[in-house]
Structure 1
Amino acid sequence: MIDFFLAHQRNPHFTGRSSILKDLKGALTEGGPAVLIGPDGMGKSAIAEEHGRVNVTEYDFRLWVRAWDATVLATDYAGLAEPFGIPHQEDSDLQDLASSIRTWLEENERWLLVFDDAPSPEVLEEYLPRPGSGGGGVIITSKSPGWDGDFAKIEVGPLDPSEAASFLLSLTGQEDAEASKKLAEALESLPLALELAGAYIGWTGVPISKYLDIYRKRLGEISGRTSGLPEALVAVADISTEQVRAVSQEGIDLLRLSAFLAAEDLPLDLLVKTSALLADSVEMGLMALDRRGLVRRDEEPLSVHPLIQALAYSRLDDGERKTWADETVRAIGGAFSTYLGDLSTWPECARLLPHALASSEKVEDLRMGSEPASLLLNQVGLYLHRRGDLAGARNVLERLVVLDERFYGRGHPEVATDLNNLGSVLRVLGDLRAAKGCFERALAIEEAQDAPDRLKIAIRANNLGTVLRSLGDLTGALAAFERALAIDREAYGPNHLKTAIRLNNRGEVLQEMGDLDGAKESYQLAFRVFEQFLGPGHHYTQRARENLDSLSQSESD
């Protein structure tokens, strides 16, 4: 069996939920996707895990995809190509892989696929097998109630009171059923709050009845100061965190760091080496957090519940948030490859991608300017572009423009570079008018500098010409290409590849405008350089040859 549930090991104290598990099994038997709907902290993911465990003999593949972010979803989904045996390379286009994976799911049986924390049906449209196809099961977990149509919706709320009490007894190893019932009731049967309380009691050995007194006191102290989080959860988490602080500052620092990262597969092996805010060794801190249920540690993968992250974040003041945000993006940026041409680094990029997105979003939420965040987002945008996730690249590069405008100023050359990269993505996506706006603004910024970089102006002008040509503005395109050609010819000489590229672009516009003699001259000059330096088989050489052949055909007609 191929098992991608390994990073989501079953909670050994999972209790109850028999009715929901039965409904889930029935919904999957009917053949449609089943959606577990409920607020954070209700154990939706744990129920999905439990279904996969209980019915393990029915599946040859158990697969898990994070769906909270469209970019993370695309990357995780593409990762299914490996267990399915679908041929691919590190630089395979994500959209092509998604189509192949979807086809595989529709043509095969005995698989279970979980889309965890999906915000809406729309984000899954291109990933879900079409209705009536395939012989597997799809489970979706979501906080959103908006799942109509072919989805079987299953509501997930607090545990049944008797289940909650049994859960506490299982976690603590104690036998005081009456005290367990009272504590479960005080905790409103919230699964995450029960798990934290149970872990604390199990580790410290404090009687359940004594913990109930501690909890009630803490609940009174934090009432009205929970930042919108459930008061029961905040109270139990505060109790556990306070004890961690007493034995390990490293544990507190790890919890703070987690608030600026994605919830799963925290890359501590990398961050310990690069973060100035973490100690050289965090093992004692990890142990302190794990024993009190504040992190989930299954061998290597380390995860923190999003509500615990939110609580850790809420306990920081504005200055602390900015310090941790800046240091986190610096550390992630140091680990995210700066040399994307080396495909061997891309698996690590894929692993760090969710954390790069989460940490940079925190910088944006805090309305900070940050050179490390800028560098990180730029690398992420380029990585996604090269992987074929153009929608993801567009989103990241749009965010980068806003961040760099705040940090450098709207007229800074870094903003021009961002706009140029964004324009290139928009052009491929077919949003030509938006691409034109980006290239025009990038060009204007370069021109307005005290010492304009003429080579960058040539690049911006050439890109603008490409979009103007696609929009049918041949006169504007020709002017842009002529400008780029003049700069590069002066900088590099007549026999340089850059000059030849500009010549070929100019020739194509001249041909469309009916100036066949001018086009022929440009093509011949370009072809001569391409053939000399790149050889006859290179695509630039072949393109110039095809252009010359098309001219000959036009003349014969």
Structure 2
Amino acid sequence: MRDTTDYSGNFQQGTVYHKSSIINNTYLNTPAAVVEAEELAAATAHLEKMPLDRVPDVAPLPAGSVIGLATNPLFVGRQADLQALAAALVAGTTAAIGQIAAATGLGGIGKTQLASEFAHRYGCYFAGGVFWISFADASAIVGEVARCGGVAGLALADNFDALPLEQQVTMVSAQWHNALPRLLVFDNCEDEALIEAWRPKTGGCRILVTSRKVDWSPHLGIAPLALGVLTRPESLALLCKHRPDLAADAPDLDAIATELGDLPLALHLAGSFLRQYRHVPVGEPARYLAALRAPDLLDHPSLTGSGASPTRHDQHLARSFALSVEQLNPKDPVDALALDALARLACFAAGEPVPRFLLLASLPIAEDDAAQMQAADALKRLTDLGLGEPEPDGALVLHRLLVAYVRRTVDGLPAARNAVERAVESVCDILLEDGYPAPLQAWQAQLRAVAGAAVAESSDNAANLQLSLGNFLRMIAAYDEAQTAFEQAVEVYEHRFGPNQPGTATAINNLGLVLRERGDLEGAQKAFEQALKINETIYGLNNPTVATIVNNQGAVLQDKGDLDGAQAAYERALTIDEATLGPDHPDVARDIGNVGAVLHAKGDLIGAQAAHERALKIDENSFGPNHPKVAVRLSNLGPVLQGKGDFDGAQAALERALAIDEVAFGPNHPVVATRVNNLGSVLYAKGDLEGAQAAHERALKIDEATHGPNHPNVAIRVSNLGAVLRDKGDLDGARAAFERALTILESRLGPDHARTRSVKKSLETVTSILEK
């Protein structure tokens, strides 16, 4: 049974203690011992000298201090943390050392070691002394407090040790309640009620708490310090203190720190192992690194607690984690849900934030208020035990070594992994359907990790996850990675479900989209034909899924210059979608927009404008005025208006499209390059050559960064830039631009493509002028 205390200082019913250990108000609220004004003034002035802008050297503690830990010569780093504690404590605040970023409250993060270092460096400024109280065992706190008044401490009476325990505590409490500045360290205190019961209600004491808990009740006035793992230079410095013969820039040491996640306890154990076995092969960093990368990492002898501990804590890393996990009772509904959440957290990417909504989506939680409150309580239970570090936005982080521990000890991991995979796929697809990449970019590390693990584990969800991953990567223009993901999805679909299944067709179609965007028109056409054949067999000739692939075929035909073939494909898709989805469906807008694009290319500006305006109206009604799909319609309408001589209308449409897409995709996405390029063309037509040049140069820079130097889109940007340079009189620059564009287009689209012929004609014109 866990010990509990009411705020008046009386233990409630719980563990039974010896009569002399019972806390009561009689001595906790003892009147403060008198301090002479002169002594108090001197002590206060001395405390005010405590430096806040630097970390002082280790110094002897005031007489009467009780601290069981010696200074640690292996201590490294933590300068900012020490200064933060000093600032909080000099102001009279209770400070609690916790942890953020890698593993809040995690065992082995170095909380007690930091408190010890603080006491030895700053304790000399507390004239009343430093007193270290272990709160690990609530029943032993009374004895810990009494010890501070004995001959090894304050020496409050010649016969102090012979006095009743209650009287000893009364005498110590009286000293702590006076105004003399003292530092009390409450080590390993996880219970707020114990702090409430034992901290002096008045006087000059400052209290430093070490705890795995990071969320404290506001009424306690605690200023928590977010204690993270060591920085990489600090980790290397710690390893080198154990092995000074090794260079800090040795690659193997850096890799060891990575494997151990910069966790102080793990690094101390690793350094001790490397020092102990420095004369035998197992102590060689490269060999030790290889051993750490084995699946049974936590069973390596170096992490099982041999050697001396500077804090006298258990140095067995797994047992350090177990201290927290074993406090969760599977028979308690909140704790049971916390265990389920912990298992799911271990299925995400280790050391990376797991969005709270994503974690909750993987748990069997009802939507009613009671269930949601229980879920919040379960996650708070984890963070209170140091089994998950809360980020400011509510996300949770598990240290990679804790993840390794959970994966091998917590029950129900296969079910947890399946739940996480399904949640990631579902949430990802919903966000992708919205058309905005930003919400997914925030947790793309989790999407990548879960999708990759699903393939490695041959999960039933592997293919779907690779498909979702590919769709996201394509949206953010990571085309190389997207192609790999789609190829992986095709392979898994074909292996597990067969070559003629809907999932296989979808993966092949999406692979074709990436191939087209990378300029591989032949590969894209082949992929679309294969996907279309599968879906026509499954769904028939007149299904919306078929229409989507037919649309994609039309786009490739248009890219290849076959405008009649493209128009036929687009019109077939439009006929299917209008019949099955109705005239105002977003897919119909897509089809109409594509018909408008081919009409524009064929010179039918009236028909193109009507098509684009209808498509724009549908999408604005479907998505609102500021959606990326609306930007597509505006971007297509702008050049048509330009062709009709309405330059102002074209510029307004294109500027609106650009504003939408810069918000949706950021300033350096290839979609933005297309909008900027089109805007540059309007500025060119209006005679604004400087503005046009700036626009085309920006578009070129984006596309070169995205596609490389030899993509057809790059050729278009270079060609447009060449036209601006020609009109500005820079004929040499124009010829160089046209030559580069022609080289790209001849190799990627062939010499007979309309774009190739157009650029070749521009080059010939400039060349003839220069040669006259």
TM-score, normalised with respect to structure 1:
0.48
Higher relative contact order (CA 8 A, sep 6+): 1
Structure number with greater Rg is 2
TM-score, normalised with respect to structure 2:
0.36
